């Protein structure tokens, strides 16, 4: 070949490797040969090539022959002269082939080591795991399942086959027995047509039982008592019914044991109990839905889908739609949707949630999850569009390269000046198990670029979180809501976020190991250290030092971007939270926990995790809140920043410019939240998410006193960084039950009132109010971090906490009144006062409308429980405020009553009106003398004081507002309150219905007062005639307590001679009778039942038996 030894060697190597004699002479590698990396194991049922050549291998061999021939021809004719390039291309192709072979080998290893899902029904397996439903074709180490790591449920193929054959034999016997009885019954029915009727047999009674279905659960049949054959059949059926009832009882006991395990957090044990119950009764929907919930808790997504499939399949087959079993079907759809969301099956999850909402349209959690799922579905379609857009230029580039002909490839070595990844030499060329981290391999520059891209570009976040592959056009069976598990189990390619969560999991495990949170060795086992232990420890330390800050940074960016991306990062909660015990990472972990706690899905994950593992996770947060150390109370780096600013101030030699610079630096240092602020906010949000989790409340109860005491210390007006956050946490703590509410009432009632008084400037000279006022004046108009202007809504949060306290602890109303809370609330009802308070805190997230609205709620709750607590001056102020608030109230009331979708502004106005009417009703019906003062009724005997006689009295007996104007506004609102149709049960407790009920209660009291003696002119002139017909119609359309209030009002109208005829003309008494008759009859029946229990011993015994049955007693 012209003296080209290098080429000859390359060509010989190419020909030897590509066209070796073993390639054609031998069959392709079998699965036994591909498993050379595994210990020698006998393989059962593996595919066999039978010595034939695979077509793909033959085609590849032919392509190699053609390529080598072309290369030889090119060398001979001189078109190939660059032998270095030739060798490089050859090495690249060989490496690609080697990678394909390694991937094939890995897939085959996974196939044999992890088995395939199956029920052990065929013969192509050797071992079967009864717990995981997985078939294995090889002998496993220690005969343990590689998925559940257990060996107690492993069955050999012969044993499984015997078990199935036994079940088949039992089924055949049962089927034959049932068919025999059915045939005998049919023969009996046919024989009756050939025989005459007899006096001894009641043939009509036989027609009460017809075997319409294949099931025998039809109750006890009516059979001829004289026929021994049918008596035997009757005994057999009764025995079968008894066995079925016993199985149902056993299944119920298994369900209860599983529920106990669920409450204690033992989800694996709960699944075992539910499986045991299903062995006795396979059609028990509660067992399937509870099993799905337990599987959902331990992240067995595919098992959850399979369990929910059973419920949906049973309902579709045996019931007409899902309405009959709405509750279990709703649970099945929502839990399957949660599992599908975890598998990134957004379209199928959205369909399941839509089906669930057809059963319960008002379920708020399902509606919220559907909105999030639709957003995720839209994002997945965006990913597809981005992939298509990126794929098109790449294809064009490939075509251009092919047209251009030979391409010269230059391989450039990286410069030694290029920035290396973090971690130093320990991170370079690491061969340990931690070397596969993508984040670790990034340089500092690339990591900063990644953070910047994720923070600013939404498309980068979308691509970072999106999984690829596993796309199915249809994974449901035709005309069925059951999903095909084979297509569901197709694995998508992991996203970069999945790799990030794996890094977080690895970091959490390494950190726990370094903290000593490992299973201890037995006392009779001695640990022998080796020289590699130190290297592994150093490698683990390097991994943690490099990867953990990067994981926390990326997760923080994603969790703060949107609800969807925050939900995708939620699986990392259990890996990141343990890292809070490290001082270097603590603040970054707290920032991430705070972001997670603000979103519903991730906050619930946090509450569930904290309920299962409270120590050290909850304990650490409580300790941060309780400790007043500077590490907790000051933002990170503030002390160092202040010191540097002070040194710079001393070096500058003083001056106002230097002082301003120091002041600006210190305020900038306060812009970051401290550890205590983050911990308080995170705890408050977790309490809100965990209010429905008994395990979480039980675990948090151990820290109750310590936590409540710590929060009460932060309820100080001068503590503008923590006061509002602590009030929000207290507000959510009150939702966790009576024990938490009692602790808050004991320790936080007075601090809450004092903080609110000083916050709104109502405190005296001995309080913090003067200093707060001075600091606000100093910082007025400036939105500076750290100043009182960043109080973050302290007043509103304090009022919310007090309103919740009044709701759950009604007995504390008098204490709050004694502390002056009612006066504070009345003053904040004034919009100008609320506007002044908000203006004093520029940058606050409060609004005057929100502050006034919460003040209305607070005053309404206080007056309802303490109606006589107002002074005359405050009462006059309150009446004037209410009179102004009721102006124009008929317009939003008319918009809401017409039906349809009212605007948010109208709904807000109705809620405000309802509070106003409630307060007016309390004032006029419960507050002593308030109605007399409003109507200016003169007392019969009035003692004239000296000041009055001399004309020196400073007070006036005139009403604060005109009663005629006030009543006219109330009547206008009542006239506009007629609903367009019957009120739905879900709207019966809404603000519009409550407003109608409170108006009826108020008008009933005024109508009754009109019939009294010495009625004031303003009250006598009040005319209810325009609303008589309206409220009779409202009575017909309302329901519940509101209907009762309106019925009382109509009754009082009928008793008043002025309106009696109006009520009769509108058929009010007939409507009232029809509404009240069922209630009166129910009351009479209850009274008769109680009378029988007192006078009749048999009735008393029957009632005791009934009550025992309701309680589930034997």
> How much is the average pLDDT of 817-844?
82
Considering 318-327, 621-630, 716-725, the range whose residues carry the highest mean pLDDT is 621-630
> How much is the average pLDDT of 1012-1039?
87
**What is the pLDDT, as a whole number, of residue 589?**
92
**What is the pLDDT, as a whole number, of residue 496?**
87
- When pLDDT is cut at 50, 70 and 90, the band that residue 199 belongs to is very low
Could you please report the per-residue DSSP string of 124-160? S-SEEETTTTEEESSPPGGG--TTT---TTEEEHHHH
697 vs 793 pLDDT, higher one: 697
344 vs 472 pLDDT, higher one: 344
CB 564 within 8 A of CB 372: yes
Q: Check whether 878 has a pLDDT greater than 80.
A: yes
> How much is the average pLDDT of 491-498?
79
**What is the pLDDT, as a whole number, of residue 955?**
42
> How much is the average pLDDT of 385-398?
62
Cα–Cα nearest to 104, from 33, 158, 44: 33
pLDDT in tens, 406-422: 434 343 444 443 444 44
* Whole-number Å distance between alpha carbons of 588 and 555: 10
CB 969 within 8 A of CB 883: yes
**What is the pLDDT, as a whole number, of residue 174?**
83
pLDDT in tens, 450-460: 888 888 888 88
CB 55 within 8 A of CB 39: no
SS3 call for 937: coil
| Whole-Å CA distances, 574 to 88, 569, 1045 | 47, 11, 52
Q: Check whether 949 has a pLDDT greater than 60.
A: no
Q: Check whether 778 has a pLDDT greater than 50.
A: no
851 vs 80 pLDDT, higher one: 851
Q: How far does Cα 289 stand from its chain's mean position? A: 18
592 vs 75 pLDDT, higher one: 592
In percent, the amount of the chain with pLDDT more than 90 equals: 13
Considering 613-617, 750-754, 1069-1073, the range whose residues carry the highest mean pLDDT is 750-754
SS3 call for 117: strand
Give the residue ranges of DSSP H helices in 577-722. 586-597, 600-612, 617-626, 630-633, 638-652, 656-669, 675-689, 694-700, 704-714
Q: Specify the range with the lowest mean pLDDT, choosing from 695-699, 1054-1058, 1089-1093.
A: 1089-1093
- When pLDDT is cut at 50, 70 and 90, the band that residue 791 belongs to is very low
805 vs 9 pLDDT, higher one: 805
- When pLDDT is cut at 50, 70 and 90, the band that residue 23 belongs to is very low
pLDDT in tens, 327-377: 999 999 999 999 998 888 888 899 999 999 999 888 888 998 999 898 888
CB 104 within 8 A of CB 57: no
Structure tokens, 1031: 């409220």
CB 312 within 8 A of CB 293: no
Q: Specify the range with the lowest mean pLDDT, choosing from 299-313, 525-539, 684-698, 734-748.
A: 525-539
**Distance between first and last Cα of the chain:** 101
Q: Check whether 385 has a pLDDT greater than 70.
A: yes
Phi, psi of 511 (to 5 degrees): -70, -40
- When pLDDT is cut at 50, 70 and 90, the band that residue 288 belongs to is very high
Q: Check whether 1081 has a pLDDT greater than 60.
A: yes
Q: Specify the range with the lowest mean pLDDT, choosing from 11-15, 346-350, 983-987.
A: 11-15
Structure tokens, 787: 């100043």
**What is the pLDDT, as a whole number, of residue 592?**
92
> How much is the average pLDDT of 259-281?
88
Q: Check whether 946 has a pLDDT greater than 60.
A: no
Spatial neighbors of 551 by CB under 8 A, at least 6 apart, are: 439, 500, 503, 504, 507, 572, 576
Give the residue ranges of DSSP H helices in 1056-1067. 1060-1065
Q: Check whether 215 has a pLDDT greater than 50.
A: no
> How much is the average pLDDT of 621-641?
82
> How much is the average pLDDT of 997-1009?
90
Q: Specify the range with the lowest mean pLDDT, choosing from 439-443, 472-476, 863-867.
A: 472-476
**What is the pLDDT, as a whole number, of residue 112?**
79
Q: Check whether 44 has a pLDDT greater than 50.
A: no
> How much is the average pLDDT of 1002-1017?
88
* Whole-number Å distance between alpha carbons of 647 and 286: 70
**What is the pLDDT, as a whole number, of residue 398?**
45
Cα–Cα nearest to 1024, from 984, 975, 1088: 975
**What is the pLDDT, as a whole number, of residue 805?**
92
Q: Check whether 710 has a pLDDT greater than 50.
A: yes
Cα–Cα nearest to 250, from 303, 294, 287: 287
For the chain, give the mean pLDDT: 76
Q: Check whether 689 has a pLDDT greater than 80.
A: yes
Phi, psi of 1001 (to 5 degrees): -65, -40
**What is the pLDDT, as a whole number, of residue 871?**
86
pLDDT in tens, 184-193: 767 766 665 5
**What is the pLDDT, as a whole number, of residue 332?**
92
Spatial neighbors of 978 by CB under 8 A, at least 6 apart, are: 897, 1030, 1033, 1034
> How much is the average pLDDT of 421-442?
54
Q: Check whether 677 has a pLDDT greater than 70.
A: yes
Structure tokens, 1023: 């005319």
């Amino acid at each position: 070949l012209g003296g080209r030894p290098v080429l000859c060697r390359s060509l010989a190597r190419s020909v030897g490797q590509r066209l070796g004699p073993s390639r054609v002479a031998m069959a392709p590698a079998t699965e036994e040969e591909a498993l050379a990396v595994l210990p020698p194991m006998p393989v059962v049922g593996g595919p066999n090539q039978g010595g034939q050549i695979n077509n793909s291998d033959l085609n590849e061999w032919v392509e190699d022959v053609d390529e080598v021939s072309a290369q030889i021809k090119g060398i001979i004719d001189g078109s190939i002269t660059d032998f270095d390039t030739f060798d490089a291309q050859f090495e690249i192709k060989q490496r690609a082939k080697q990678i394909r072979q390694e991937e094939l080998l890995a897939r085959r290893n996974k196939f044999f080591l992890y088995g395939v899902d199956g029920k052990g029904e065929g013969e192509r397996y050797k071992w079967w795991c009864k717990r995981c439903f997985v078939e294995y074709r090889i002998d496993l180490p220690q005969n343990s399942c590689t998925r559940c790591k257990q060996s107690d449920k492993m069955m050999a193929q012969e044993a499984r086959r015997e078990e199935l054959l036994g079940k088949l034999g039992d089924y055949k016997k049962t089927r034959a027995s049932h068919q025999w009885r059915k045939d005998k019954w049919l023969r009996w029915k046919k024989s009756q047509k050939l025989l005459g009727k007899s006096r001894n047999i009641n043939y009509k009674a036989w027609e009460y039982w017809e075997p319409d279905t294949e099931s025998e659960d039809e109750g006890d049949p009516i059979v001829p008592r004289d026929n021994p054959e049918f008596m035997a059949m009757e005994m057999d059926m009764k025995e079968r019914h008894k066995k079925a009832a016993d199985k149902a009882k056993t299944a119920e006991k298994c369900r209860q044991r599983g529920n106990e395990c669920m409450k204690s957090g033992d989800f694996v044990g709960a699944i075992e109990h539910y499986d045991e119950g299903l062995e006795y009764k396979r059609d028990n929907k509660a067992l399937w839905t509870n099993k799905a919930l337990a599987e959902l808790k331990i992240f067995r997504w595919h098992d959850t889908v399979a369990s929910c499939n059973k419920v949906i399949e049973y309902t579709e087959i045996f019931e007409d739609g899902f309405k009959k079993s709405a509750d279990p079907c709703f649970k099945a759809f929502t839990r399957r949707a949660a599992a599908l969301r975890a598998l990134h099956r957004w379209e199928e999850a959205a369909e399941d949630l839509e089906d669930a909402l057809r059963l319960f349209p008002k379920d708020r959690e399902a509606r919220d999850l559907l909105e999030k799922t639709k957003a995720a579905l839209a994002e997945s379609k965006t990913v597809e569009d981005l992939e298509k857009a990126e794929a098109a230029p790449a294809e064009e580039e490939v075509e251009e390269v092919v047209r251009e002909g030979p391409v010269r490839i230059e391989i450039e070595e990286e410069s030694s000046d290029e920035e290396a990844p973090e971690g130093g030499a320990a991170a370079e060329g690491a061969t340990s198990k931690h070397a596969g981290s993508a984040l670790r391999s990034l340089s500092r520059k690339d990591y900063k670029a990644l953070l910047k891209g994720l923070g600013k570009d939404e498309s980068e976040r979308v691509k970072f979180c999106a999984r690829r592959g596993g796309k199915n056009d249809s994974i449901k069976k035709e005309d069925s809501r059951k999903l095909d598990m084979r297509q569901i189990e197709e694995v998508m390619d992991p996203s970069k976020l999945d790799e990030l969560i794996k890094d977080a999991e690895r970091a959490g495990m390494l950190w726990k190991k370094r903290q000593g949170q490992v299973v201890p060795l037995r006392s009779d086992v001695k640990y022998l250290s080796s020289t590699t232990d130190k290297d592994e420890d150093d490698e683990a330390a390097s991994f943690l030092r490099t990867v953990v800050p990067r994981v926390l940074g990326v997760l923080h960016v994603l969790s703060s971007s949107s609800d969807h991306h925050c939900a995708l990062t939620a699986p990392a909660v259990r890996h990141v939270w343990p890292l809070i015990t490290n001082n270097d990472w603590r603040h970054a972990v707290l920032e991430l926990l705070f972001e997670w706690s603000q979103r519903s899905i991730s906050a619930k994950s946090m509450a569930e995790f904290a309920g299962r593992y409270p120590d050290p996770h909850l304990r650490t947060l409580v300790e941060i809140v309780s400790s007043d150390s500077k590490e907790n109370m000051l933002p990170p780096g503030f002390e160092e920043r202040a010191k540097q600013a002070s040194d710079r101030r001393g070096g500058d030699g003083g001056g106002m410019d230097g002082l301003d610079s120091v002041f600006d630096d210190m305020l900038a240092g306060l812009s970051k939240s401290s550890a205590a602020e983050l911990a308080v906010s995170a705890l408050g949000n977790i309490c809100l998410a965990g209010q429905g989790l008994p395990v979480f409340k039980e675990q948090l109860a151990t820290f109750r006193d310590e936590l409540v005491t710590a929060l009460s210390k932060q309820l100080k007006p001068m503590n503008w960084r923590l006061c509002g956050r602590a009030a929000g946490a207290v507000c959510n703590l009150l939702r966790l039950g009576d024990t938490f509410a009692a602790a808050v009432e004991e320790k936080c009632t007075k601090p809450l009132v004092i903080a609110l008084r000083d916050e709104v400037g109502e405190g005296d000279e001995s309080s913090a109010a003067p200093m707060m006022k001075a600091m606000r004046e100093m910082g007025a108009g400036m939105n500076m971090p750290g100043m009182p202007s960043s109080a973050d809504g302290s007043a509103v949060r304090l009022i919310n906490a007090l309103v919740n306290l009044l709701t759950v602890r009604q007995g504390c109303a008098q204490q709050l009144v004694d502390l002056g809370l009612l006066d504070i609330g009345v003053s904040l009802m004034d919009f100008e006062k609320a506007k002044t308070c908000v203006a004093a805190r520029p940058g606050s997230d409060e609004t005057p409308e929100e502050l006034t609205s919460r003040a209305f709620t607070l005053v309404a709750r206080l007056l309802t429980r303490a109606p006589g607590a107002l002074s005359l001056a405050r009462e006059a102020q309150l009446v004037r405020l209410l009179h102004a608030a009721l102006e124009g109230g008929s317009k939003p009331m008319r918009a809401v009553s017409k039906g349809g979708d009212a605007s948010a502004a109208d709904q807000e106005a109705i809620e405000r009106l309802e509070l106003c009417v409630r307060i007016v009703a309390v004032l006029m019906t419960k507050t002593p003398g308030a109605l007399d003062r409003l109507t200016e009724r003169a007392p019969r005997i009035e003692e004239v004081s000296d000041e009055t006689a001399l004309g020196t009295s400073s007070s006036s007996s005139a009403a604060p507002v005109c009663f005629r104007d006030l009543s006219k506004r109330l009547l206008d609102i009542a006239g506009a309150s007629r609903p367009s149709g019957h009120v739905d049960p879900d709207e019966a407790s809404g603000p519009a219905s409550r407003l109608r009920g409170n108006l009826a209660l108020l008008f009933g009291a005024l109508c009754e007062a009109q019939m009294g003696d010495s009625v004031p002119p303003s009250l006598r002139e009040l005319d209810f005639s325009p609303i008589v017909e309206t409220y009779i119609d409202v009575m017909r359309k309302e329901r519940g307590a509101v209907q009762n209030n309106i019925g009382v009002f109509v009754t009082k109208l009928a008793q008043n001679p002025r309106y009696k005829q109006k009520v009769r003309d509108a058929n009010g008494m007939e409507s009232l009778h029809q509404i009240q008759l069922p209630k009166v009859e129910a009351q009479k029946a209850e009274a008769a039942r109680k009378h029988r229990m007192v006078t009749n011993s048999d009735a008393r015994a029957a009632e005791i038996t009934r009550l025992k049955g309701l309680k589930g007693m034997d």
